[in-house]
Amino acid sequence: MTRLRIFFVCFLPISVFVSGCGRPEKKMQFEPNLVLAQATKIKVGDIYPMETAVSEATTVVNEMFGSPNEPKLPNDLLEDEQKSFLNTENLEKASGPVAAGRGLYRQHCIACHGVTGNGRGINAMQADVYPRDFRMGKFKFKSTTRGAKPMKEDLYTTIRKGIAGTTMVAIKELSDEDVNTLVDYVIYLSVRGEVERNLIIASEEIAFEEGDHLYLAGSKGFDDNQKDMVKETVAAVMDSWVNAESKVKQAPEPGDVPITATVAELRAAAASDQDSPLKKSIARGKELFAAETASCYKCHGPKGYGDGGTQDYDAWTKDWTSDRGIDPTNEEALIPLQALGGLPPRKIVPRDFRKGIYRGGAAPEKLYLRIAHGIDGTPMPAAEGVLQPADIWSLINYVRSLEEPSKDLTAN
Ligand code: HEC
Ligand code: HEC
């Protein structure tokens, strides 16, 4: 019965304005980044013409990237390689209302990530870990070095498998093609949001009071003085995606360090009276964990319970608080920002290794990437260059050996 109805509604032309088939919906718009603009105003002072800056940045970005129902790319501003990086058919399929051949993002992702990809979907507040705001262009779980964009394959894995220990679960009904489609759309939202963000930040420098503009009212369009700046902003963001491939650095072979398939083997070796290469490696890892060089203990605590440094925030929170001179613990100062959509700051918690839950994947070679490259957007630093590969492998053996077999702990 329901199926039949969906079938009919979705094939009517009216479906363009319908979400969830049957419920009328007003045409969706991307939300402007008012939180960043307000934080910029607090930082710069009242001379910052926030309303003008936001309204012009919004017009420019909408002109270039279209709307949630009709996404597009500013092809006239892009080089060939940048143009072909995202597949426009994928953008079409992932976007729009839920209807035949469209609306994948709205169906599966919007409740957490929001229509704009700003991490403020209706379920955002319920989660311990806020859903990601894609607009900073920072991603955590990837095969590229710290600061670089992820590969499409990395985003594919995240969406395919979900993120362990968070509300983001694997969605089995998505085909591999659907996931690839969503990867392009996440990148599109991220590029759009990062360009918008960079334009808002750049508008600190625009002499609006002297008649300079990003965009001119009426039919005049882009301000010629600023057009190069806009073009460079878009090109730089697109290039960071196109060039991510040159920043890939996978885990090297563990060489002499034994790596086990199961955690049980590690636990057995650690508990055994007999010396073995595995036992030695765990001991070496333990020593490194507590040493000053890598300082793992400072954040993860002396026993790896995640109770060392627990007063810090992630980059997404700092962006509109401490980075702009606003104290994230000052509730009163946050009111105007929260009124515009800023989520209440939550401290970032270093991982508790007893749980054995790894968001970026529990396989040893995934843990290697997390430790070697660090985790973007969080205080977790890159150990590459500080530690030798063999030492990183030993740290992995130690960290994995801390997992407790108790089901109670792993059940979250
Ligand atoms: C129930 C809520 C929820 C839903 C639904 C959800 N996500 Fe997420 N997502 C999250 C949370 C929470 C995080 C942040 C995890 C973290 O920061 O460690 C996240 C993070 C991400 C990331 C960032 C990964 C990284 O490497 O930093 C991507 C990409 C992503 N989600 C894509 C999607 C896509 C695409 C969909 C729809 C198929 C989706 N998510 C559906 C909650 C959700
Ligand atoms: C400055 C603080 C800090 C230091 C130093 C630090 N970490 Fe972390 N680490 C974190 C935080 C915070 C997280 C959680 C990041 C998140 O939630 O996205 C984390 C997460 C992790 C994870 C989980 C990865 C996953 O996929 O879930 C591992 C493993 C890890 N750290 C190992 C280490 C090791 C080994 C060292 C020392 C070489 C170390 N960390 C040093 C703060 C730190």
Dihedral (Cα; 127, 129, 134, 139), 10-degree rounding: -150
Q: Is the CB of 286 under 6 A from ligand 2?
A: no
Residue position matching structure tokens 């002109």: 63
Residue showing tokens 């007063």: 311
Count CB atoms within 10 A of the CB of residue 311: 7
Cβ(112) to ligand 1 under 6 A?
Answer: yes
Q: Report how far ligand 2's centroid is from the alpha carbon of 131 (Å).
A: 19
Interval between CA 64 and ligand 2 midpoint (Å): 38
Question: Ligand 2: distance of its center to the CA of 379 in Å?
Answer: 8
Closest ligand 2 atom number to CA of residue 370: 24
Q: What is the rounded CA–CA span in Å between residue 305 and residue 170?
A: 27
**If you count them, how many residues does the chain have?**
412
Q: Which atom belonging to ligand 2 lies closest to the Cα atom of 358?
A: 27
Joined tokens for residue 152: 């499409």
Residue 209 structure tokens: 């009071």
- The C-alpha atoms of residue 399 and residue 372 are separated, in whole angstroms, by 14
Expressed in angstroms and rounded, the spacing between residue 283 Cα and the centre of ligand 2 is 19
Q: Give the angle subtended at the CA of 99 by the CAs of 98 and 105, to the nearest 5°.
A: 35
138-190: pLDDT as tens digits? 999 999 999 999 999 999 999 999 999 999 999 999 999 999 999 999 999 99
pLDDT for 275-310, tens place per residue? 999 999 999 999 999 999 999 999 999 999 999 988
Atom of ligand 1 nearest to the CA of 166: 12
Residue 24's pLDDT band, with cuts at 50, 70 and 90, is low
Identity (one letter) of the amino acid at 350? P
Least confident of 17-21, 149-153, 222-226, 338-342: 17-21
- Burial 375-391, CB ≥16 within 10 A → b, else e: bbbbebbbbbeebebeb
* 380 CB near ligand 2 (under 6 Å): yes
The residue behind tokens 């995640």 is 306
Tokens of 131: 């859903």
CA distance 130 to 142: 19
